[in-house]
């Protein structure tokens, strides 16, 4: 009896089930048809472009669900998705992906990326500024307007079609101030301050000639390298009057990935709370510096004072507050962006460079040997280094370049507000957003030399950027590309027979892109390279470090937002080196 009841019920369910399947199939037919058409157009466009060599707009990556497009895979598994979407017939290429609000063009073939850097209409990061300021850095909506309406470009001369008033040219004004403040004559004093502050910070750790066990390498770098960099750029007052600033900055860094997904406050209250705290501390700093600062506080060149730090910060205040709709709240958001960008890339990059050196005894001893003639140690003056010489050390530069290749996972974003532009063999339509993923470029097996798989693109190979004339399998680029370049341009990329292996980035302008590129490239890149190389030279010369946690994974959850960090803590031991 019970069995027959079950049987009746299940056959009734089966019938219902079949009806649902039929309805679902009918409903799915337009979707399947739509997808099929999208696939045909997608393949046809690539084939046409290849066969006829025609300049055209990149095709759209087929997505099953209209309107939603590729939003879900792009947001939730961005690394896998962009790698897949930008690959066609085994080659990295350009594609349009449709997202919920609008679409994005991804340009990844190295020729297109190199062309992008050269194009004056694609030199401005203003579009990504507006996104960052709104969603990451919490700028009030009324202040963002000045950023969204500025179509005058990043150059001193405004675009002829733009009517933006000179004092509202936020794109040019901010970029110009950053270039003046972070490069050229201003960089030297900032870097000098960094050198003495980092040595002072390391001294506070009390490391002696006995091994000192420590639980977390990243914390060590945050507290010494990160703090030194903050102080050398923004001055001691910001940190002194806000003792929780550094911890809050790193707590915020953990939350940025959630803010980037545009979740509302009620879903990620901690992210909004820590951001509010940081903005309040930055405004607190403004109040303090305004009261304390006087002309007599400046150094002899007017480059630095203990309240605003570098003169760039002091001058940014006047420049930003002069722009329509700006006040302390909006300027604090802009400064949060600057502080976050300047610190949170260089700290993990420095740590990963040092980590790779200390993890490998042989590499450590080669690096020590190679920089011996550049470093000095004086009991009075402490550690010293001839920076010009250090910056040209081949193996150290190769380790640095390889570290950035492996761990920098940024999206570099551009938009042309006035005209369609040619990007290599593609067109980018006016006002459309284009992005380049450094990760896809850095993992492109069509470019990078892996010595036939011996050194996969996903692995760390310290010599990848060294060219050795005695070894035709050496160098960062695949052998076939080097030969093709040499045949067409008579380019001599190899050194002469008796030269030592030398560091090169030749031919990699569209492939090695940790700092973006062109006029909009990272204005902190020269300072970053100095900080990374100097810090590694200091650590390897003055300390022994044993890496105790040797197996760890990298955290990919912040994909697209900058440099990767390790997942979990890396335990290590450190001691002062005995006098050599
Ligand atoms: C290894 C360290 C660093 C990496 C990997 C890095 C990477 C980047 C990238 C990919 C961009 C976008 C560039 C583009 O759009 O083409 C950028 C922009 C920027 N970076 Fe860096 N960066 C680093 C260090 C620094 C440092 C040390 C500073 C400041 C001292 C800094 C300040 C900035 C600023 C202010 C921007 C925005 C540029 C603008 O508005 O014109 N960065 N960075």
Distance CA 385, CA 371 (A): 9
Average pLDDT of 36-62? 86
Distance CA 175, CA 426 (A): 28
Distance CA 439, CA 96 (A): 17
Distance CA 451, CA 302 (A): 52
Least confident residue range of 40-44, 257-261, 512-516 = 40-44
Nearest ligand 1 atom to the CA of 513 is: 10
CB of 435 within 6 A of ligand 1: the answer is no
The total of other beta-carbon atoms located within 10 Å of residue 337's CB is 18
Nearest ligand 1 atom to the CA of 532 is: 1
Residue 379, pLDDT score? 79
**Is a pLDDT exceeding 50 seen at residue 1?**
no
Measured in Å, residue 128 CA sits from the centre of ligand 1 at 13
CATH number 1.10.10.1590 given to 126-448+506-576 = no
Residue 466's SS3 state is strand
Q: Report residue 224 as tokens.
A: 């010494």
**Torsion sign across C-alpha atoms 432, 522, 252, 557:** positive
Counts for the chain of helices (H) and strands (E), in that order: 22, 20
CB of 527 within 6 A of ligand 1: the answer is yes
Nearest CA to ligand 1 atom 37: 522
CB of 312 within 6 A of ligand 1: the answer is no
**Is a pLDDT exceeding 60 seen at residue 107?**
yes
CA–centroid distance for 342 within its chain: 10
Nearest CA to ligand 1 atom 10: 515
Q: Which residues contact 478 (CB under 8 A, 6 or more apart)?
A: 446, 447, 448, 449
* pLDDT tens, position by position, 159-215: 999 999 999 999 999 999 999 999 988 899 999 999 999 999 999 998 999 999 999
Range list for CATH 1.10.630.10 in the chain: 126-448+506-576
Residue carrying the six token digits 């990329």: 493
**Interface ipTM above 0.95:** yes
* pLDDT tens, position by position, 133-143: 999 999 999 99
DSSP 457: T
Backbone φ and ψ for 312, nearest 5 degrees, come out as: -55, -40
CB of 558 within 6 A of ligand 1: the answer is no
Q: Which residue in 566, 532, 529 sits closest to 549, CA to CA?
A: 566
**Is a pLDDT exceeding 70 seen at residue 495?**
no
CB of 130 within 6 A of ligand 1: the answer is no
Residue 64, pLDDT score? 87
Nearest CA to ligand 1 atom 40: 175
Q: How many CA atoms lie within 13 A of 388 on its CB side?
A: 0
**Is a pLDDT exceeding 70 seen at residue 149?**
yes
Residue 527's SS3 state is helix
Residue 475's SS3 state is coil
* pLDDT tens, position by position, 23-34: 888 878 888 888
Q: Which residues contact 385 (CB under 8 A, 6 or more apart)?
A: 371, 374, 375, 376, 534, 537, 538
**Is a pLDDT exceeding 50 seen at residue 425?**
yes
pLDDT band at 55 (very low <50, low <70, confident <90, very high): confident
Nearest CA to ligand 1 atom 35: 338
Average pLDDT of 350-363? 98
CB of 178 within 6 A of ligand 1: the answer is yes
Q: How many CA atoms lie within 13 A of 141 on its CB side?
A: 0
Q: How many CA atoms lie within 13 A of 191 on its CB side?
A: 22
* pLDDT tens, position by position, 213-250: 999 999 999 999 999 999 999 999 999 999 999 999 99
Instruction: Supply the DSSP string of 96-118, one letter for each residue.
Output: EEE-SS-EEEEE-SHHHHHHHHH
Residue 489, pLDDT score? 58
**Is a pLDDT exceeding 90 seen at residue 104?**
yes
Residue 17, pLDDT score? 82
DSSP 382: E
Q: Which residues contact 285 (CB under 8 A, 6 or more apart)?
A: 234, 237, 238, 241, 242
CA Rg value for the chain: 27
**Is a pLDDT exceeding 90 seen at residue 54?**
no
**Is a pLDDT exceeding 80 seen at residue 499?**
no
The total of other beta-carbon atoms located within 10 Å of residue 124's CB is 27
Degrees, nearest 5: CA angle 576-578-580: 130
Residue 6, pLDDT score? 44
Residue 193, pLDDT score? 95
**Is a pLDDT exceeding 60 seen at residue 492?**
no
Average pLDDT of 43-71? 86
**Is a pLDDT exceeding 70 seen at residue 444?**
yes
> Considering the chain, what is the average pLDDT of its residues?
92
CB of 177 within 6 A of ligand 1: the answer is no
**Is a pLDDT exceeding 60 seen at residue 7?**
no
Distance CA 72, CA 13 (A): 33
Q: Which residues contact 131 (CB under 8 A, 6 or more apart)?
A: 413
Distance CA 451, CA 62 (A): 35
- Cα–Cα distances in Å, from 212 out to 228, 368, 492, 574, 576? 22, 22, 49, 5, 9
Distance CA 389, CA 133 (A): 39
- 3-state helix, strand, coil split of the chain in percent (to 5) is 55, 15, 35
Nearest ligand 1 atom to the CA of 414 is: 15
**Is a pLDDT exceeding 60 seen at residue 5?**
no
The total of other beta-carbon atoms located within 10 Å of residue 86's CB is 24
**Is a pLDDT exceeding 50 seen at residue 3?**
no
Q: Is 351 exposed, middle or buried (0-12, 13-18, 19+ CB in 10 A)?
A: buried
**Is a pLDDT exceeding 70 seen at residue 496?**
no
Contact (CB, 8 A) for 107 and 434: yes
**Is a pLDDT exceeding 70 seen at residue 10?**
no
Average pLDDT of 40-46? 90
Average pLDDT of 68-93? 93
**Is a pLDDT exceeding 60 seen at residue 441?**
yes
Element (H, E) at 331: helix 328-344
Q: Work out the angle between the directed axes of helices 361-371 and 525-542 (0-180°, nearest 10).
A: 100
**Is a pLDDT exceeding 90 seen at residue 100?**
no
Q: Which residue in 38, 8, 175 sits closest to 103, CA to CA?
A: 38
Higher pLDDT, 408 or 551: 408
**Is a pLDDT exceeding 60 seen at residue 490?**
no
Binding-site annotation, residues for heme: 522
CA–centroid distance for 188 within its chain: 23
Distance CA 256, CA 135 (A): 9
Least confident residue range of 92-96, 360-364, 479-483 = 479-483
Residue carrying the six token digits 């087929």: 62
Nearest CA to ligand 1 atom 17: 522
Alpha helices in 134-266 (DSSP H): 141-148, 170-182, 184-204, 217-221, 227-234, 236-241, 245-260
């Amino acid at each position: 009896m019970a069995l027959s009841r079950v049987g009746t019920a299940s056959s009734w369910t089966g019938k219902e089930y079949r009806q649902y399947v039929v309805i679902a199939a009918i409903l799915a037919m337009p979707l399947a048809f739509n997808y099929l058409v999208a696939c045909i157009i997608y393949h046809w466009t690539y084939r046409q472009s290849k066969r006829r060599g025609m300049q055209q707009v990149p095709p759209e990556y087929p997505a099953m669900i209209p309107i939603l497009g590729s939003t879900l895979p792009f947001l939730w598994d961005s690394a896998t998705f962009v790698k897949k979407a930008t690959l066609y017939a085994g080659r990295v290429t350009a594609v349009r992906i449709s997202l919920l609000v609008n679409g994005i063009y991804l340009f990844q073939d190295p020729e297109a990326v190199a062309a992008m850097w050269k194009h004056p209409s694609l030199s401005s990061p203003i579009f990504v500024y507006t996104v960052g300021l709104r969603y990451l850095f919490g700028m009030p909506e009324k202040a963002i307007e000045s950023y969204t309406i500025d179509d005058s470009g990043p150059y001193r001369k405004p675009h002829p079609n733009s009517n933006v008033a000179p004092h509202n040219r936020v794109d040019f004004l901010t970029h110009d101030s950053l270039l003046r403040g972070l490069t050229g004559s201003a960089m030297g004093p900032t870097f000098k301050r960094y050198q003495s502050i980092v040595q002072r910070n390391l001294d506070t750790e009390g490391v002696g000639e006995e091994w000192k066990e420590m639980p977390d390498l990243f914390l060590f770098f945050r507290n010494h390298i990160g703090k030194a960099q903050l102080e050398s750029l923004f001055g001691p007052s910001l940190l002194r009057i806000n003792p929780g600033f550094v911890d809050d900055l790193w707590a915020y860094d953990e939350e940025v990935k959630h803010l980037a997904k545009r979740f509302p406050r009620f879903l990620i209250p901690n992210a909004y709370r820590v951001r509010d705290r940081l903005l309040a501390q930055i405004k607190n700093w403004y109040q303090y510096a305004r009261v304390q600062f006087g002309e007599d506080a400046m150094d002899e060149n007017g480059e630095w004072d203990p309240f605003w730090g570098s003169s760039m910060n002091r001058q940014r205040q006047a420049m930003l507050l002069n722009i329509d709709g700006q006040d302390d709240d909006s300027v604090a958001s802009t400064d949060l962006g600057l502080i976050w960008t300047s610190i949170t890339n260089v700290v993990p990059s420095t740590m990963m460079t040092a980590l790779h050196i200390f993890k490998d005894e042989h590499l450590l001893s080669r690096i020590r040997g190679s920089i011996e003639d550049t470093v000095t140690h004086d009991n009075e003056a402490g550690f010293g280094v001839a920076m010009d010489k250090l910056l040209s050390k081949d193996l150290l530069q190769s380790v640095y370049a390889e570290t950035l290749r492996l761990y920098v996972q940024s999206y570099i974003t551009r938009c042309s507000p006035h005209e369609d532009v040619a990007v290599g063999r593609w067109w980018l339509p006016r006002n459309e957003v284009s992005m380049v993923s450094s990760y896809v470029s850095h993992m492109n097996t069509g470019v990078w030399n892996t010595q036939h798989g011996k050194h996969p693109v996903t692995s760390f190979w310290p010599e990848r950027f060294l060219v050795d004339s005695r070894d035709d399998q050496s160098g960062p680029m695949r052998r076939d590309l080097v030969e093709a370049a040499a045949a067409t341009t008579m380019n001599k990329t190899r050194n002469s027979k008796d030269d030592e292996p030398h560091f090169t980035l030749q031919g990699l302008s569209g492939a090695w892109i940790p700092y973006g590129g062109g006029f909009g490239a990272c204005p902190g890149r020269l300072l970053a390279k100095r900080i990374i190389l100097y810090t590694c030279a200091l650590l390897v010369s003055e300390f022994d470090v044993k890496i105790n946690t040797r197996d760890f994974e990298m955290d990919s959850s912040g994909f697209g937002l900058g440099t990767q960090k390790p997942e979990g803590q890396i335990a290590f031991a450190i001691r002062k080196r005995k006098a050599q």
